[in-house]
């Protein structure tokens, strides 16, 4: 093995958080920064086209294509867990939906020992991220690296869905990221001019010409290196060769909630029982590594639509050709759509501090939801997810081979509150679609169908139908207790010069899609790292 190349900071992972860190840590010009990404550059033409996510979800060049272990509570199914691969990570293939969550999410973090992570603490970092095109608001910001726009398409069926929600007693909400999250409206997405803006576009591209930033792709990190309890660098496989990279200041893990715990475990950091099963010697006992896995579980309710006004028929034949021509000429039309058109956030019972169920309305229905293959007849879908699941699972290395996928065990629907909220959320969705504004469009319910009436029926449907919506987090959770993997400064507890800055540090999942929170975490991490460097 060659002598190591040496940098001040070595960032493991070129995804959402890694791109932010690469930009911010190299900005002063005082530090030599290396970012290592196991995937390649984001060159596929579908990446910049928002609707192209469906073409990339099964592409191994841009998706690790992880899957869960089959579990009895979800029908013994293997459930797809897409993870973005390549510079930009999951922002290359996600639905671009930008949801901060609720202020109380972050206040709860602070109250459970994550000092400095209350909403007032993290709000400046959300504002630092954003270039929001909507109305001015003290909680929003313009001028940040990431453009945030409201979905531009306004099909009549989406307007009818929002009107139906109002008829059912729910408010219209023009900005769920400012003030109250309750209500219905259109999603906000990270796009500019009808094109996806990934973390690589927003953060990495402006920094690539800096002489103090090095970016290595196709570099799969195998393990961390140490002197005593201090992290000194990493070993990575580039092609067929193993290379060492040394860090004078810190190693920062930003490989995501699936692979960050795997790298730690294969470096001897984790639950001794798990490490023993892998045949890996214990360097540092940290029982919380790979535990506390949290994700959003989502069912998809479908209806047949009376009129040919859905994506099912608009994405075939001549109509698709016309849509492609429209997008090419104007950057408008159906190719600007991702995974969510209209949103809904509702409370399923009295006494809640905020919504506990989120809806994703699309004028499309899927023959295969995991692969986004559309039906041939007109249809519409409401995705239903519980926002704050209590169920906890695990993600652990399954093999001492660093190239083997981790073992993902979600333990979905194990908590009674999760089952209750999912059932109630689906009932509310049906009630909304039954309102008069949907009469011109609604033909009949396809899934779960009119025979689904009892709570047991609803729960059975949830167990058979549900999928993850790819919001994995929590596997190296932050906190002040003995089982916390990272402290509130994101340093790995008990070790020196090693930090985690990705979704794995979340002690609890946020109330919504997680990408906005990951951008925020990485922005705050950069300031925490800079503060330590200046001390």
| Across 100-104, 131-135, 159-163, 315-319, least confident range | 315-319
pLDDT at position 369, please? 59
Q: Give the confidence band of 1 by pLDDT, cuts at 50, 70, 90.
A: low
In eight-state DSSP terms, residue 424 is H
What percent of the chain clears pLDDT 70, i.e. is strictly above it?
99
471 is catalytic: yes
- Residue with more model confidence, 225 or 369: 225
Instruction: Dump pLDDT digits (tens) for 309-362.
Output: 998 888 888 787 787 788 888 888 888 888 899 999 999 999 999 999 999 999
Distance CA 239, CA 220 (A): 9
Indicate which residue of 44, 170, 296, 471 is catalytic.
471
- Residue with more model confidence, 115 or 332: 115
Within a 13 Å sphere around the CA of 304, how many CA atoms are in the beta-carbon half?
Answer: 9
Planar angle of CA 520, 251, 508, nearest 5 degrees: 40
pLDDT at position 316, please? 81
Q: Which two tokens stand for residue 155?
A: 């099909």
| Across 185-189, 367-371, 396-400, 507-511, least confident range | 367-371
Mean pLDDT on 219-223 = 98
Residue 519 pLDDT more than 80? yes
Q: How far is CA 181 from CA 187, 217, 453, in A?
A: 12, 39, 29
Q: Give the confidence band of 372 by pLDDT, cuts at 50, 70, 90.
A: low
pLDDT at position 105, please? 98
Instruction: Dump pLDDT digits (tens) for 5-43.
Output: 999 999 999 999 999 999 999 999 999 999 999 999 998
Mean pLDDT on 484-507 = 98
Q: Give the confidence band of 371 by pLDDT, cuts at 50, 70, 90.
A: low
Q: Give the confidence band of 86 by pLDDT, cuts at 50, 70, 90.
A: very high
Mean pLDDT on 161-179 = 97
Hey, which residues does 192 pair with through a beta bridge?
195
Round the average pLDDT of the chain to a whole number and report it: 95
Residue 3 pLDDT more than 90? no
| Distant-in-sequence contacts of 275-278, Cβ < 8 A, 24+ apart | 278/397, 278/399, 278/400
Instruction: Dump pLDDT digits (tens) for 447-466.
Output: 999 999 999 999 999 999 99
Q: What is the dihedral of CA 363, 365, 371, 376, to 10 degrees?
A: -110
Domains of the chain by range and CATH? 152-186+297-386+413-465 (3.30.410.40)
Q: Give the confidence band of 52 by pLDDT, cuts at 50, 70, 90.
A: confident
Residue 134 pLDDT more than 80? yes
pLDDT at position 318, please? 78
99-126 exposure pattern, b = at least 16 Cβ within 10 A, e = fewer: bbbbbbbbbbbbebebeebbbebbbebb
Residue 370 pLDDT more than 70? no
Instruction: Dump pLDDT digits (tens) for 236-289.
Output: 999 899 999 999 999 999 999 999 999 999 999 999 999 999 999 999 999 999
């Amino acid at each position: 093995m060659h002598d190591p190349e040496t940098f001040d900071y070595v960032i493991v992972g070129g995804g959402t958080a890694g791109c932010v860190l690469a930009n911010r840590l190299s900005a002063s010009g005082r530090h030599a920064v290396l970012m290592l990404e196991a995937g390649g550059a984001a060159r596929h033409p579908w990446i910049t086209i928002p609707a192209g996510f469906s073409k990339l979800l099964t592409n191994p060049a841009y998706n690790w294509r992880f899957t869960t272990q089959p579990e009895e509570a979800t029908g013994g199914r293997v459930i797809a867990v897409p993870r973005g691969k390549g510079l930009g990570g999951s922002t290359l293939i996600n639905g671009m939906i930008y949801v901060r969550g609720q202020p109380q999410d972050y206040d709860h973090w602070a109250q459970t020992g994550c000092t400095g992570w209350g909403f007032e603490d993290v709000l400046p970092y959300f504002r630092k991220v954003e270039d929001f095109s909507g109305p001015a608001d003290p909680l929003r910001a313009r001028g940040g690296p990431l453009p945030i726009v409201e979905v531009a398409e306004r099909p009549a069926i989406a307007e009818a869905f929002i009107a139906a929600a109002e008829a059912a007693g729910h408010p219209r909400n023009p900005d769920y990221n400012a003030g109250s999250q309750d209500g219905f409206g259109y999603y906000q997405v990270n796009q500019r001019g009808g094109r996806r803006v990934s973390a690589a576009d927003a953060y990495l591209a402006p920094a690539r010409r800096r002489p103090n930033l090095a970016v290595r792709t196709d570099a799969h990190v195998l393990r961390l290196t140490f002197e005593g309890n201090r992290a000194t660098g990493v070993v990575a496989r580039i092609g067929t060769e193993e290379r060492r990279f040394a860090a004078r200041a810190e190693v920062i893990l930003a490989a995501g909630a699936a692979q960050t715990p795997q790298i730690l475990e294969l470096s001897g950091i984790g639950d001794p029982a798990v490490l023993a099963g892998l045949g890996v010697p214990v360097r540092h006992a940290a029982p919380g590594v790979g535990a506390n896995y949290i994700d959003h579980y989502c069912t998809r309710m479908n209806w047949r639509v009376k009129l040919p006004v859905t994506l099912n028929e608009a994405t075939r034949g001549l109509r698709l050709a016309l849509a492609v021509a429209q997008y090419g000429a104007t950057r408008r039309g159906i190719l600007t759509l991702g995974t969510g058109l209209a949103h809904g956030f509702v409370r399923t019972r009295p006494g809640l501090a905020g919504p506990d169920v989120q809806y994703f309305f699309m004028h499309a229905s899927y023959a295969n939801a995991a692969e986004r293959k559309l039906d041939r007849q007109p249809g519409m879908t409401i995705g239903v997810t519980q926002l704050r699941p209590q169920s906890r699972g695990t993600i652990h290395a399954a093999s001492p081979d660093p190239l083997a996928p981790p073992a993902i065990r979600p333990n979905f629907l194990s908590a009674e509150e999760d089952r209750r909220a999912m059932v109630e959320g689906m009932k509310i969705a049906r009630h909304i679609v039954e309102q008069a504004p949907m009469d011109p469009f609604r033909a009949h319910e396809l899934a779960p169908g009119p025979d689904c009436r009892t709570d047991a029926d609803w729960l059975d449907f949830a167990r058979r139908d549900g999928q993850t919506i790819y919001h994995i987090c929590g596997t190296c959770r932050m906190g002040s207790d003995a089982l916390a993997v990272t402290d509130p400064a994101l340093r790995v507890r008990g070790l020196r010069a090693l930090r985690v800055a990705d979704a794995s540090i979340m002690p609890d999942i946020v109330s919504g899609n997680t990408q906005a929170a990951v951008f925020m975490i990485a922005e705050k991490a950069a300031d925490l790292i800079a503060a330590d460097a200046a001390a």
